[in-house]
């Protein structure tokens, strides 16, 4: 210390050169990794947009496809968009209530050993490949009787959504402070009423966010629908008791077509799917911040 003519420890920047270098390098690496992630997304969006933009118009959403068309009559993928809408809505209607109830049991009522087992079961279910779920529903419902239908496709998607919804819901329920439960129970309010009136509303924003993300995720699923809702004609149908065309399957089928215009329409449909997911994520974020603000009393 006396060498610097100082009486205290040195505070100069160059006092630990090696540590500073390592710090720099690690920071750069972390930055690079983040940049790569963003770049990949950018490349995907750019390539999809540039190839699909030419066919992205209202006809794509409203007009049905014309198979083996040799004219320039406007055509679209309205059957696929209608089918995806119906199937995903049905899947959400099936998975959401059960998922929330599972989460409530998991987080509010299950004794610790059951909680651990149930959590593991949900994790395994979440890890089951989509194609396996498809084959399972095919074997259970399609072969068993009646053939393919939108409802069966929705059931397959719901199976994929359920663990996702249950896990995210249990997570947000876990974030509700125990002090709130105690406040309600301390008043002499029964447990079920506390869960329903205090815990659930407090977690509603988070549950909604998780649901929106789950919807965005299964909207692009192809494999389960291949077995359960894929043998379809070009006509637009909203009846879930019949097999319905869906956007991911339409993309898959058009990509195998010989007509380059079909390829462009496949890209355009992919772009719509991407935009939907982007929009859903933004909505989820907005909901999350809005509820956070509301709960903070501002």
Partner 1 sequence: MSITIEPTVKVETRRQPVPPRERLETVFHVEHLDALYGGKPALKSVSMEVYKNLVTAIIGPSGCGKSTYIRCFNRMNDLIPGFRQTGTIRYHGQDICASNIDPVAVRRNIGMVFQRPNPFPKSIYDNVAWGCRVLGMKDDLDERVERALTQAALWDEVKDRLKASGLSLSGGQQQRLCIARAIAVEPDVVLMDEPASALDPIATQAIEQLMHELKSRYTFVIVTHNMQQAARVADMTAFFSISHGGEGERYGELIEYDATEKIFTRPSDQRTEDYVTGRFG
Site size for partner 1 (CB under 8 A): 27
98 binds partner 1 (CB under 8 A): no
**Interface pick for partner 1 out of 29, 182, 259, 290 (rule CB under 8 A):** 182
The interface mask with partner 1, positions 6-25, x = CB under 8 A, is --------------------
Cβ closest to partner 1, residue 48 vs residue 203: 203
6 vs 91: CA distance, rounded Å: 72
Cβ closest to partner 1, residue 24 vs residue 191: 191
Q: Token pair for residue 206?
A: 């988070």
- Name the residue among 163, 95, 154 with its Cα closest to residue 127: 163
Would you call 156 helix, strand, or coil by DSSP? helix
Positions in 198-217 near partner 1 (CB under 8 A): 198, 201-202
Burial class of residue 26, CB neighbours in 10 A (0-12, 13-18, 19+)? exposed
145 binds partner 1 (CB under 8 A): no
Q: How far is the CB of 106 from partner 1 (least distance, A)?
A: 14
Q: How far is the CB of 119 from partner 1 (least distance, A)?
A: 15
**Interface pick for partner 1 out of 42, 74, 177, 233 (rule CB under 8 A):** 177
- What residues have CB less than 8 Å from 148, skipping those under 6 apart? 142, 227, 228, 229, 230, 231, 243
Which residue is associated with the tokens 């939108």?
150
Segment near partner 1 (CB under 8 A); pick from 70-78, 172-180, 216-224, 265-273 = 172-180
Instruction: Give the Cα-Cα-Cα angle 44, 50, 56 (nearest 5 degrees).
Output: 110
**Interface pick for partner 1 out of 61, 131, 189, 288 (rule CB under 8 A):** 189
Would you call 237 helix, strand, or coil by DSSP? coil
119 vs 26: CA distance, rounded Å: 35
**Interface pick for partner 1 out of 179, 256, 258, 260 (rule CB under 8 A):** 179
Q: Token pair for residue 168?
A: 């995210």
Cβ atoms of 86 and 150 closer than 8 Å: yes
Positions in 234-293 near partner 1 (CB under 8 A): none
Total number of residues shown for the chain:
298
117 binds partner 1 (CB under 8 A): no
Q: How far is the CB of 289 from partner 1 (least distance, A)?
A: 15
5 binds partner 1 (CB under 8 A): no
What CA–CA distances, in Å, run from 190 to 104, 112, 198? 15, 21, 11
Segment near partner 1 (CB under 8 A); pick from 85-93, 99-107, 174-182, 266-274 = 174-182
Positions in 31-90 near partner 1 (CB under 8 A): none
Q: Which residues make up the interface to partner 1 (CB under 8 A)? A: 111-112, 177-191, 193, 197-198, 201-202, 294-298
């Amino acid at each position: 210390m006396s060498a610097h003519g100082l009486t205290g420890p040195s505070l100069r920047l160059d006092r630990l050169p090696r540590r500073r270098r390592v710090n720099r390098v690690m920071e750069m690496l972390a930055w690079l990794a983040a940049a790569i992630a963003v770049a990949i997304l950018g490349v995907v969006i750019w390539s999809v947009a540039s190839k699909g933009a030419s066919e992205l118009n209202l006809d794509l959403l409203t007009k049905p496809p014309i198979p083996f068309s040799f004219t320039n009559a406007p055509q679209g993928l309205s059957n696929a968009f209608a089918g995806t809408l119906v199937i995903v809505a049905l899947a959400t209607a099936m998975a959401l209530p059960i998922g929330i109830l599972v989460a409530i049991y998991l987080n509010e009522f299950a004794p610790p050993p059951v909680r651990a087992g149930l959590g593991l079961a949900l994790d395994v279910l979440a890890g089951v490949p989509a194609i396996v779920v498809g084959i399972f529903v095919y074997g259970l419902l399609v072969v068993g009787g009646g053939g393919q239908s939108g409802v069966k496709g929705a059931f397959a998607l719901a199976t994929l959504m359920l663990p996702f919804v249950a896990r995210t819901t249990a997570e947000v329920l876990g974030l509700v402070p125990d002090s709130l439960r105690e406040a309600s129970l301390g008043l002499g309010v029964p447990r079920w009423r506390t869960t329903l009136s205090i815990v659930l509303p407090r977690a509603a924003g988070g549950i909604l966010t998780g649901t929106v993300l789950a919807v965005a995720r299964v909207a692009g699923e192809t494999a389960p629908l291949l077995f359960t809702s894929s043998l379809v004609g070009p006509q637009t149908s909203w009846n879930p008791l019949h097999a319905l065309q869906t956007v991911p399957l339409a993309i898959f089928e058009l990509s195998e077509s010989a007509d380059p215009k079909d390829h462009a329409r496949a890209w355009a449909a992919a772009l719509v799917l991407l935009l939907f997911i982007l929009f859903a994520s933004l909505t989820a974020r907005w909901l999350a911040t809005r509820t956070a603000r509301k709960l903070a009393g501002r």
